[in-house]
Structure 1
Amino acid sequence: MTKKILIALTSHDRLGDTGSPTGFYLPEAAHPWKVFTDAGYEVDLVSVKGGEPPMVGVDPSDPVQNAFLADDRISGRLKATPRPQDVDPAQYDAIFYAGGHGTMWDFPDDTTLARVARDIYEGGGVIAAVCHGPAALVNLTLSDGTYLVAGKEVAAFTNDEESAVGLTGVVPFALQTRLEERSAKHSGAADFAAHVVVDGRLVTGQNPASSTGVAEAVLEILRSGAAA
């Protein structure tokens, strides 16, 4: 069976009422993609609304981003991502939620995307998220109704980092605080320093600098057989 990992992307393109664009943060998809594909995994994409998701954070000097965008398979999928309801969770060993501020608006309440992740996890797979990607976890419940993150160690974009980028009053909620309200055990490193947390088959990272580390941790779980 083909080894496959699903990367989930936001479809939200406006940063609150600021008039500024947002979307998925390209390096948080591209760098994990490289880690996964270098390890022999096939990577698929999904977005909340399907179609071409909005993208920010493009750095033409980053060879990994350039390779991601130039890849024939990825470029085709970026133009026409499937919706969550068009995805078969049984095909995937893991789901990776890429960040970007857009996720704060559409990841939390997308029940179909949550079902995809729940099915992957309850089938023995891995759930991973980085930076604002853990917005997908704040309302994600297991089949027994409990929050996935309850009692688990997690990392996400911190309240201090949100303040540092001047968007505390723009985002619809404070991600760190909401995770803590769901009884997650949040930990944070210094602002914008890499920080990856693994708790069983849940892997989370604090910020863009954590993207590669989160992907590597996912692979370690899959290689160890802890995901089955």
Structure 2
Amino acid sequence: MLSVTLGLLMIVPQHAMAAGNDRVLLVVSGNGADDGKTRPGFEMDELTQAWAVFTDNGFEVDIASPSGGAVVADKFNGKKPYNSRFLADPEAAAELANTRSLASLGEQKYAAIFVIGGKGAMFDLPISVPLKTLLAETYLAGGVIGAVCHGPAVFMNVALEDGTSLLEGRAVTGFSNEEEAMFGKGWAPSFPVLLENGLRGSGAIYSEAPIMLNHVVADGRLVTGQNPYSTAAAAEAMVKALGRPLATREPWADERSISLLFQMVNGDGAQARAAFDADPSLYDVPLIAMWGFFRAQSAGSDREALTEAVEIMELALPHFSRPELVSAIADARTKLAEPK
């Protein structure tokens, strides 16, 4: 029996449903158009990284969207290894070319459901009743549910069988207000609510890392990742929550770069710099440079953040020299030279 009360979808199951053992559902927004220019869609990098993690850990993966059929991703780099691998896989490419509709999955049982982000997820996924039903039934049956970036928006108005909010008192993360202010200016004014505000308002205990660093929160069988660079770690946390040992893998260059940045902002700069200097080719140097640039832009008068930004930009500069990077370093150093 289904009932809707005050915007919360309440699931009152007739009987317990056993979660599937080897099938995972990835959910993407169907909102996108024109590579995200006229309407935002989903993040291809998030979809393909999650697909790679679940596939490599022995799961069968389905892909669904609210209406099914073809869906449009925001602009992406098809040469990135996870994207090229996905697009070269005939079954995966076919799944994405003709996604399953959420309404058609009522009888399907999943071990886990992972909601992919992208700004489109703020528009069509939170109002999908079939998605809320699938999430609640999977969770109540002992399955694992998760989301990354803007994907956690789907959890804001899901209620459990006793009427309580799924998020009440639960530890979560998602795309932060700080990240939205830096990267979401084009579409955020159209959101029903900023994601961080919505999660907090739903009773969740929200936490975040500095902009675009990997941050995953696992609260039992509810797993959330803060931003696109949290995708692989969030998917792996779901695999762990399902009780499976993780398959070993080499981190991707951008993933390795985010780990290096995390080290540097958490006081382990010497070791991070040594690892980078040993073989810069293992890293996504433009990503490191741009992270330092945006860190400087968002730092304001925070001297610690400015110092971190300068160190990171100067680390990348010999391998990625750009006038704007040189200018940003100079501006940050000028601020640091001002009296406290």
TM (norm. structure 1) is: 0.92
Cα offsets for 1:130-181 (capped at 9, x unmatched): 0000111111111222211111000000011000112442333100101111
Runs of 4+ in 1 over 4 A off after TM superposition: none
SS of the equivalent of 2:24 reads strand
Contact map agreement 1:89 1:120 (CA 8 A) in 2: no
Q: Which runs of 5+ in 1 are unaligned?
A: none
Residue 46 of structure 2 is aligned to residue 7 of structure 1:
no
Contact map agreement 2:29 2:41 (CA 8 A) in 1: yes
| Cα-Cα RMSD | 1.9
Cα offsets for 1:175-218 (capped at 9, x unmatched): 01011111000001001111000001000000000000000100
SS of the equivalent of 1:178 reads helix
Q: After superposing the two structures, state which structure 1 stretch, 53-62 or 175-184, moved more.
A: 53-62
- Decide which of 196, 216, 237 is 1:196's aligned counterpart: 216
How far did residue 33 of structure 1 move? 0.7
Separation in 2 of the partners of 1:39 and 1:154? 24
How far did residue 21 of structure 1 move? 3.5
Cα offsets for 1:92-119 (capped at 9, x unmatched): 1000000010010111111111101111
Report matched runs for 1:10-49 at 5 Å: 10-13=29-32, 20-49=38-67
Separation in 2 of the partners of 1:11 and 1:90? 20
How far did residue 13 of structure 1 move? 1.9
Match of 1:124 in 2: 142
Separation in 1 of the partners of 2:174 and 2:167? 12
Match of 1:100 in 2: 118
How far did residue 90 of structure 1 move? 4.6
Report matched runs for 1:124-203 at 5 Å: 124-165=142-183, 166-167=185-186, 168-203=188-223
Report matched runs for 1:210-221 at 5 Å: 210-221=230-241
Match of 1:113 in 2: 131
Aligned length in residues? 223
Separation in 2 of the partners of 1:85 and 1:181? 28
Separation in 2 of the partners of 1:60 and 1:78? 14
Identity, % of aligned positions: 37
Q: Mark the CA change 1:136 to 1:89 in structure 2 (over 3 Å): closer, same or farther.
A: farther
Separation in 2 of the partners of 1:129 and 1:53? 18
Contact map agreement 1:2 1:42 (CA 8 A) in 2: no
TM (norm. structure 2) is: 0.63
- Max Rg structure: 2
Indicate the structure with greater helix content: 2
Name the structure, 1 or 2, with higher relative contact order (CA <8 Å, separation 6+): 1
